[in-house]
């Protein structure tokens, strides 16, 4: 008769530390579901982040222009879309004045410019478009949610509708 202490149980796959194909498939499936949920939710955060970044840039440009006006008694000159006015060099980075996070180019509209207001435009140009949803979301975040009035308004240009962040009347 064999003594019970000498009986060795048969090693199963669990005792060897390996996983079965079904177990691995279930884990991969669960990870795929979690990843797809994260990517889907990330889209919502992405638009919100672009809107907030654009609002911050507009406020930084406006503050730099206000500081220049306070020091010199006049607004910086109008230089064109995507070009930081010379008067604001040193007050902000040139890279913050190019393409906006929501599309379009920043465009300072100073005294004597073609816009009826002094302030910053987000101008659409070929290759730089701004979606209507992003325009509306930016206005709702920064202003009154109505693009026809307030400090952020839609203004027609030769390239399409621009958003104008108004600081003063031209």
- The answer for residues whose C-beta is within 8 angstroms of residue 86's C-beta and 6 or more apart is 76, 77, 79
Q: What is the pLDDT of residue 27?
A: 92
- Per-residue pLDDT tens digits for 85-126: 888 988 888 887 888 999 888 988 876 565 656 788 888 877
134 and 102 in contact (C-beta within 8 Å)? yes
Q: What is the pLDDT of residue 71?
A: 92
Residue 75 pLDDT greater than 80, yes or no = yes
Domain membership flag for residue 9: no
Domain membership flag for residue 127: yes
Domain membership flag for residue 44: yes
Residue 147 pLDDT greater than 70, yes or no = yes
Domain membership flag for residue 10: no
Most confident listed range (117-126, 128-137, 159-168): 128-137
**Residue 74's pLDDT band (boundaries 50, 70, 90)?**
confident
Kindly write down the DSSP assignment for every residue of 1-46, as one continuous string: ---GGG--PPP-HHHHT---HHHHHHHHHHHHHHHHHHHHHHHHHH
Q: What is the pLDDT of residue 141?
A: 93
Q: What is the pLDDT of residue 160?
A: 67
Domain membership flag for residue 98: yes
Host domain of residue 107: 19-169
- Identify the burial level of 134 via C-beta atoms within 10 angstroms of its C-beta, where 0-12 means exposed, 13-18 middle and 19 or more buried: buried
Residue 142 pLDDT greater than 70, yes or no = yes
Over residues 58-77, the mean pLDDT reads: 89
Q: What is the pLDDT of residue 129?
A: 81
Domain membership flag for residue 3: no
Domain membership flag for residue 4: no
Q: What is the pLDDT of residue 81?
A: 85
115 and 170 in contact (C-beta within 8 Å)? yes
108 and 142 in contact (C-beta within 8 Å)? no
- Per-residue pLDDT tens digits for 6-59: 666 555 544 567 788 898 899 999 998 888 877 666 556 688 899 999 999 999
127 and 105 in contact (C-beta within 8 Å)? no
Return d(Cα 121, Cα 114) in angstroms, integer.
Answer: 11
Domain membership flag for residue 89: yes
Q: What is the pLDDT of residue 30?
A: 93
CA angle 49, 55, 60 (to 5 degrees): 125
Cα separations in angstroms, 120 against 20, 89, 92, 113, 139: 62, 16, 14, 11, 14
Residue 73 pLDDT greater than 70, yes or no = yes
Domain count, the chain: 1
Return d(Cα 117, Cα 167) in angstroms, integer.
Answer: 7
- The answer for residues whose C-beta is within 8 angstroms of residue 69's C-beta and 6 or more apart is 75
- Please, what is the angle between helix 132-142 and helix 21-72, to 10°? 60
């Amino acid at each position: 008769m064999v003594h019970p202490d000498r009986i060795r149980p048969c090693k199963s796959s669990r005792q060897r530390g390996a996983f079965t194909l079904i177990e691995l498939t279930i884990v991969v499936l669960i990870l795929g579901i979690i990843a797809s949920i994260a990517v889907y939710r990330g889209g919502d955060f992405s638009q919100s982040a672009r809107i907030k970044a654009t609002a911050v840039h507009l406020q930084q440009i406006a503050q730099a222009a206000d500081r220049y006006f306070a020091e010199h008694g006049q607004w910086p000159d109008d230089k064109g879309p995507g070009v930081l006015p010379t008067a604001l060099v040193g007050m902000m980075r040139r890279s913050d004045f190019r393409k906006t996070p929501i599309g379009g180019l920043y465009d300072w509209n100073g005294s004597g410019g073609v816009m009826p207001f002094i302030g910053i435009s987000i101008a659409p140009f070929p290759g730089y478009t701004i979606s209507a949803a992003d325009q509306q979301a930016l206005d709702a975040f920064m202003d009154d949610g109505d693009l026809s009035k307030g400090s952020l308004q839609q203004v027609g240009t030769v390239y399409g509708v621009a958003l104008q962040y108004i600081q003063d009347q031209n």
